[in-house]
Each structure stands twice: as structure tokens, then as C-alpha cells.
Amino acid sequence: MRLRCAVLDDFQNAALESADWSPVEDRVEIVVFRDHIADEDELAARLADFDIVVTLRERVPFPGTLLDRLPRLKLLIASGMRNSVIDYAAAERNGVTVCGTASSSAPPVELTWALLLGLARDLVTESTALRTGGPWQSTVGADLHGRRLGLLGLGKIGSRVARVGLAFGMQVSAWSQNLTKERADEAGVELAPSKEELLRGSDFVSIHLKLSDRTRGLLGPAELALLKPTAYLVNTSRAAIVDQDALLAALHEGRIAGAGIDVHDIEPLPADHPVRTAPRLLATPHLGYVSQANYATYYSHAVEDIQAFLAGEPVRRLG
């Protein structure tokens, strides 16, 4: 009897087209689900008859309370090599092998600049007006050249965002709790003396930090109040780094020029979520990692992970 593999949250119906699944199809039945289930009871019922689950990034949590209810599950594959919503101890206790895949930092860099440029030049407002018979040229775009880009985080993604900013002729500074002057110098950017100074002096602020106990709530009401009223904030990292209520208040009250957000406190967003109607906001549905090349990597590596598991030699193990 073939094993059964559930591929979760394939909203675009892209999983089967992004990789060649034929190497495992003789031993594994692949079942794709295009909807998202947030309720744990419903998810446990859906996955009860599956031996393998493939999940995208951190979209679906796998706490111990769920894993304990999936006695048939033997292999859990998550895209990327880091996942904070899987209870690895519970997986081990239940005999579940957890594996990952490679992931490129290029797509989130590109989306960061799509959001930043869209904000600076009011592209949504102007495009909507042009297509609906609205006013011709109703906004005056913000310049990038000569303006200051402040980066919270200068890792793989942040350093690539910095290079693009420098190419635009921007002044680029960066800060994080462990960032050194030597690392900043290597990236060709200034080391901000403090988080507060970076926020005060930047025209555009972009977040590129991992979510941890130290970064959760890093930008709260006091920090957002330091931003210039002409400043823009971009977050393609994790929603919990920014106090969401404080950000919405700053947008509604016009205390910052705008924000570009790709990550949210609830995903997918409920229909009545306040983010959907917030002013001065350019929001996307967590597209940072969603690209043809990344999906090809995720799903082809998922196939490889399944093959290796079936051969008794799991690869890219997590936890």
C-alpha cells in the first residue's frame, strides 16, 4: 500500500507544477490542499490519514498538541531550514522525522524594493486613478537619491537590500543588537549609534531581523514615535517585530508617511482585519518567499527529502 502525502496551503495550485514528483509517485500518493485550515481540530482530522506532510514556511504551526494527534505521521517537511512553529521535541517523541529545504534570500530582497518603490512613488494610487478615470498626477513622489535608508538587520537579506540602496545613491545605515562596525564597513554602510538614532534619522526604514525574544515587539509606540512624519516603514521580516496596534494608529493618525507590509499577525488575514482598510499602507499577502525559483527549490527538495526518507537516510533534518 502506498504512503499518503499531504501538501498544505497550495493557494496557487503550483506545487505539482513546480517539481517532478514522479520519482516518488509509485510509493507515495500526493494529495494537494489549496485552502488554509487554522483550527487545530479540523487540521488533525484532515491529516489523520497521512504519513507525510509538506508545509510552506511557518504558515501552519505544528505544536505538540497537534503532533500527538497524528499517530500515522512519520515525515514532516517544511520549506526552508529554519522553522519556529514546529515542536521538535514533540516530533521526536512521536517518531516524526522533520526535514527542510533550501531557500533563496533573493525573492524577499526584491519584494522589499517593490514595496519601498511602490510607497515612494504612490504607484497604487496613481495606477488606480489612471485605470478608473481619476485625476492625472495627483501625488508627488518621494525621492530615493540622497535620502537615508535605515536597516534594522544586516544579514543575508539586509546586506543585499543595502547594496540596492547604495546603487540608488541613498545614504545607508544599519543597526542590530550584534552588528559591529567591521561588518557594517564590509557592507559599505554606516553603523547607526543606536536603534533610536537610526529611527530618528532615516527617511525609509526596512526590517530584516529574525524573530526572537529580543526582537519581538522591537518597534513599539515609543519607537514608532521617533520616525519622521515623512518617513516610510517596510517590514518583510516578521509581523511580531512591530507592535501592530501601534503601527495602525500611526498610519491612521498620519504620524508617518506610509508603510509597506508583507507579514501579518494572522495569516491569511480575516476579511474584517483592520490592515485591509488602513490608510497609507501598501500591503501584500506574505509574498516575500513566493517566486518561481523558490517554489521549484522547495518542492524539488521536498521530493528529495521523501526519497531519502524512504531509503532510510533522511537529509536536511531539522530540530
Q: Which residues are catalytic?
A: 238, 267, 286
**Among residues 316, 292, 281, 284, which one has the least CA distance to residue 302?**
316
Helices within the chain (DSSP H only): 22-25, 40-47, 64-67, 88-93, 106-120, 123-131, 156-167, 181-187, 195-201, 221-224, 244-252, 292-310
Asked if 132 contacts 156 with a C-beta cutoff of 8 angstroms, the reply is no
8, 67, 69, 70, 133 from 41: Cα distances, Å: 16, 12, 9, 11, 49
How many other CB atoms are there within 10 angstroms of residue 313's CB atom? Answer: 8
Q: C-alpha grid cell for residue 248? A: 495602525
Classify residue 29 by its DSSP letter.
E
Q: C-alpha grid cell for residue 144? A: 530615493
169 contact partners, CB below 8 Å, separation of at least 6: 144, 145, 146
Residue 7: burial class (beta carbons within 10 Å; 0-12, 13-18, 19+): buried
129, 164, 259, 287, 289 from 157: Cα distances, Å: 34, 11, 19, 15, 12
Our measurement of the distance from residue 290's CA atom to the centroid of its chain's CA atoms, rounded to an integer in Å, reads: 9
How many other CB atoms are there within 10 angstroms of residue 152's CB atom? Answer: 29
What is residue 173's three-state secondary structure? Answer: strand
Asked if 282 contacts 119 with a C-beta cutoff of 8 angstroms, the reply is yes
